[in-house]
């Protein structure tokens, strides 16, 4: 959901159809902060439609999903980096905290 929202915003703010630059930025964050590190990068790629203009469903293993969720704040910070999106950023961060707490209970 976050990646799809970010892709739509990328289209609207830049007026371009291709998500190449968007994908490069997201891939870098995921590979060096979310699933990997700068020293030990991963090779994950944003799943982009064949037409190159939308993000398609992301499928991850259970372990990768847990790691992704635990480190999703890096993507939230990137997607909502513009100060005008601060409220949305805080909503996402609170939602992630609530999700993490709920998972512990379960």
User: pLDDT tens-digit profile of 5-21?
Assistant: 898 888 788 877 789 89
Instruction: Report the chain's terminal Cα–Cα distance, integer Å.
Output: 23
User: pLDDT tens-digit profile of 86-102?
Assistant: 999 999 999 999 998 99
Global pTM reads: 0.85
Distance CA 72, CA 61 (A): 16
- Domains of the chain: total: 1
The rounded mean pLDDT for the chain is 91
H/E stretch holding 84 reads none
What domain range is 78 assigned to?
A: 2-105
Q: Is a pLDDT exceeding 80 seen at residue 106? A: no
CB 69 within 8 A of CB 99: yes
Name the more confident of 14 and 38.
38
Please provide the DSSP assignment of 20-58 as one string: HHHHHHHHHHIIIIISS-SSS-------B-TTSSSB---
């Amino acid at each position: 959901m976050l990646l799809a929202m970010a892709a739509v915003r990328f289209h609207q703010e830049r007026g371009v159809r291709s998500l190449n630059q968007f994908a490069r930025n997201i891939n870098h964050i995921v590979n060096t902060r979310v699933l990997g590190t700068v020293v030990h990068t991963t090779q994950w790629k944003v799943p982009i439609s064949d037409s190159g203009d939308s993000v398609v469903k992301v499928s991850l293993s259970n372990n990768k999903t847990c790691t992704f969720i635990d480190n999703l704040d890096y993507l939230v910070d990137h997607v909502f980096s513009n100060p005008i999106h601060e409220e949305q950023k805080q909503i996402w961060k609170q939602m992630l905290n609530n999700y993490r707490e709920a998972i512990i209970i379960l």
